[in-house]
Structure 1
């Protein structure tokens, strides 16, 4: 992983080099920290041009990961979030989208996951 931060220290871009089924791909994760961080989680999603095809990654870049919503803890860091995302990619056995992906088409990525319903315990 490689982190880059511009003028706004609250916005990070993390380059993740794919492994296993994503070998040869590089993905960019955007992490935006709200003023209420660490009480509230950052906005985290993939940005193009390439968004991984994964059962917990929506086509708009949103990531179904409970620690970004109901499972958030103020002790989590940007590094911990990025490692968690890297881990779900590394453990993937097949490429594909979440079963409810069609509902996210056109939705702005990175919105609060407070009210999300997570479909399985691997999310």
Structure 2
């Protein structure tokens, strides 16, 4: 059972006109669950420049991210309590985010089947 997660938020100088960069630090998740990529990047339109609104509060942002993890059925990479897994890194999450932007700039943001029953 996933009881908590550690996220990191980096606020650009342009905040709130630009979104914060948000990624998972720990725990490691099974890749593709919770809309979290292999480097800890979160695939979520709200976190992109085109999906961001300066009116979005940090509370609303964290609730939206939480809902995204739940809708994406976030699952732990390992369920062993003694598993020593490395944290996700800023660099890995930035690579993921660049990939997310490339894919969605090319194909757009569409309704994902995981959201239909969320």
Determine the structure 2 residue equivalent to 1:120.
110
- The correspondence of residues 19-98 of structure 1 with structure 2, limited to 5 A, is 23-48=1-26, 50-53=27-30, 54-69=33-48, 70-93=50-73, 95=75
Structure 1 residue 55: Cα displacement? 5.0
- Comparing both structures, which one devotes a greater share of its residues to helix? 2
Structure 1 residue 52: Cα displacement? 3.0
TM normalised by structure 1 equals 0.58
Structure 1 residue 36: Cα displacement? 0.6
Distance in 2 separating the partners of 1:121 and 1:28: 27
Distance in 1 separating the partners of 2:52 and 2:102: 12
Higher relative contact order (CA 8 A, sep 6+): 2
TM normalised by structure 2 equals 0.60
Q: What's the secondary structure of 2:93's corresponding residue?
A: coil
Q: Which runs of 5+ in 1 are unaligned?
A: 1-22, 97-106
CA RMSD of aligned residues (A): 2.9
- Comparing both structures, which one devotes a greater share of its residues to strand? 1
Determine the structure 2 residue equivalent to 1:20.
none
The alpha-carbon distance between structure 1 residues 75 and 45, as it changes in their structure 2 partners (threshold 3 A), is same
Distance in 2 separating the partners of 1:56 and 1:41: 18
